[in-house]
Chain A
């Protein structure tokens, strides 16, 4: 591979507090050799491969901490190749894959399979998560130490919550030994049983059983109480309500060390968007009120929430063409994560460097991976962005194998033009 000179770009790298015009050099091994204003048109070697970015934004490739791949078991919903195509078209270069496959990722032989498939079929970096409990059924804990040594980035039951408080306290106690990252999907299974959407006026009108926000808050409060006794690397995957935001803010203020994420869906949509039983908006955690949404935006701004994820959950048509109660939960979104998040910037709700950090440097720091920044020597995972380009989301144009987008026909501003992974140009919008 020849050295590549990316020039005439607005470089944004929240980790290194860079926001300036300049360029970036990718060396022969695909690593970042230099970055900043000193890389310009004037000091280019004559034989270098030159890519003129025409004043567009050059930033680290996105790290998406919550993505569902269909392999193994649900290849008809999404496989590594389609996921990878979808991800790079949205500037996402690293993902944490959820363990809710068939079989569940709960033992070391599965990790080998995943790594091999991920390497052979996808172009992006796959950081697999394993389940907290065997078969994600909340009864027996998995082998944190052995799995971590095999390359597992974090542990979560994904779509499920560890309900048993005794088991959860032991998990947190034991996991600290291997310095494993525990990622909780916070929803009390008993309080949310039978529920489909937020418990509120809309659930009353639609005649659907509600999921109270208390179901989320109660698990977060429980786990944070455990954290006092059994300190470990603890992350709440997706927060959805104002009540939980207050709990997190209070605990962080008291000095507890943990992190929290939010789905772009909960930041951009509310329960009213469900309209006439749109099953693509049946999500977990559910979309809640506009008040809840605004509290989440504020929580991102003040650092209460660290990470924004796509919660990319591809579901085939047959799983969604059902009554709301019978329909599968989740929306595909890895390729619209960044453009939809930019809506929050264009609406002047979140500053650009803050927004980008929640999808690059913050998740990398939580995961302990050398991604999400333009550090010299890092693999050149990059994203080139036209921040103003208007476009309309059409499910037919999505690269993901499943087309269950939560934002069909939404007008967005900002589109990814190029994506590099390990120095290679893998996506180039024409």
Chain B
């Protein structure tokens, strides 16, 4: 555990968790250290604590989500908080209420923490300016998904002992991916070397300025990598045509045993889910218990979110 040193003096400088970009190295260490404590708790028979007893957590999901929403819900409940998940489909937002008005309404109910997912980049930032409680970003547009990156880091540390010095390939639809952006910021800060592998049409402008090497050839991009992070082809965010067909995409950018050959022998396969089997990842690789840590990511996700809820909820006390 070279990267994460225990230090009691460490204090998070932020009131909200809006993105990895706002965090310092010590902030990240504190979150990951805290999360490690919850891994054990989550495996024990009695999973409940009373760390956030009496606190109210509101989950505000403007986009459909299974794993992140249930992960946050479970995390809050295991910490003893009262958790309410807003069903946006039935809410006033569908009647034309703006985000700020919704925020003010919820704020009047004195929540301690709001977890928000929104299709627009920057929505959590806007919300955080208008409420008195802590805001946790559960994914905004293409910008950031900080808890996903943190759980990815925790998964890597759990398996490889550290992030520093590792070579990580992030592959697929980088353009539309908030997971890619948060991971680039986080893994860079933790000292990894990052390759992004994607067709040119799925790369955002000036991505190399974020501190990554860009590859359009997957075998070259995976060379000597310790971690292969696959991303979902986000068809629902695409306006128009970016790749000719799923078949052609799979041929050049799908993770297959053949392409994985060029990575290190013990390279881990990661995926934030939900997966498109046969489009970005070969189905046997996704299920290979020796290589794939995809289910472990989900498991550690709860621990990371418990840590975030605990730390950021405390901040506003």
Contacts and interface: CB of A to CB of B under 8 A. Distances in A.
Interface of A: 193-194, 199-201, 203-210, 212, 276-277, 318, 321-326
A201 B122 contact: no
A200 to B, nearest CB: 5
B89 interface: no
A199 B121 contact: no
Interface centre among B142, B206, B239 (most CB of A within 10 A): B206
Contact of A204 (B118, B206, B239): B206
A323 B122 contact: yes
28 contacts: A194-B239, A200-B205, A201-B210, A203-B205, A204-B205, A204-B206, A204-B207, A205-B181, A205-B210, A206-B122, A206-B143, A207-B122, A207-B143, A207-B144, A208-B141, A208-B142, A210-B204, A212-B205, A276-B122, A277-B121, A321-B98, A322-B126, A323-B121, A323-B123, A323-B126, A324-B121, A325-B141, A326-B120
Interface in B185-233: 204-207, 209-210
B78 interface: no
Contacts of A323: 99, 118, 120-123, 126
Contacts of A193: 239
A200 B239 CA distance: 19
B140 interface: yes
Interface centre among A207, A208, A210, A276 (most CB of B within 10 A): A207
Given A194-B239, A207-B143, 7 more contacts: A201-B209, A204-B204, A204-B205, A205-B143, A207-B181, A208-B141, A321-B100
B94 to A, nearest CB: 15
B226 to A, nearest CB: 25
* Size class of the B contact interface (CB-based, 8 Å): 20 to 34
A206 B206 contact: no
A325 B121 contact: yes
Enumerate the 9 nearest inter-chain pairs by beta-carbon distance, A residue then B residue, closest first: A207-B143, A207-B121, A207-B142, A323-B120, A277-B122, A201-B206, A204-B204, A325-B120, A201-B209
A413 B121 CA distance: 36
A269 to B, nearest CB: 19
Contacts of A212: 205
A207 B140 contact: yes
A277 B210 contact: no
A210 B143 CA distance: 13
Contacts of A276: 122, 125
A207 B206 CA distance: 12
Given A277-B126, A321-B98, A322-B99, A206 B121 contact: yes
Nearest to A277: B122
A207 B210 CA distance: 13
B122 A324 contact: yes
B178 interface: yes
A193 B21 CA distance: 28
Given A193-B239, A194-B239, A322-B98, A208 B121 contact: yes
Contacts of A194: 239
Contacts of A322: 98-100, 126
Contacts of A208: 121-122, 141-143
Contacts of B120: 323-326
B103 to A, nearest CB: 11
Nearest to B174: A204
Interface in B131-145: 140-144
Contacts of A209: 142
Contacts of A210: 204-205
A362 B176 CA distance: 44
Nearest to A196: B121
Contacts of A318: 98
A204 B210 contact: yes
A207 B100 CA distance: 20
Contacts of A324: 120-122
A323 B210 CA distance: 24
B291 to A, nearest CB: 30
Contacts of B178: 207
Contacts of A277: 121-122, 125-126
Nearest to B98: A322
A207 B119 CA distance: 11
A322 B120 CA distance: 10
Contacts of A206: 121-122, 143
A323 B120 CA distance: 7
Nearest to B126: A323
B25 to A, nearest CB: 19
Contacts of B118: 323
A375 B236 CA distance: 61
A199 B122 contact: no
Interface in B72-94: none
Contact of A201 (B121, B126, B205): B205
Contacts of B210: 201, 204-205
B82 to A, nearest CB: 28
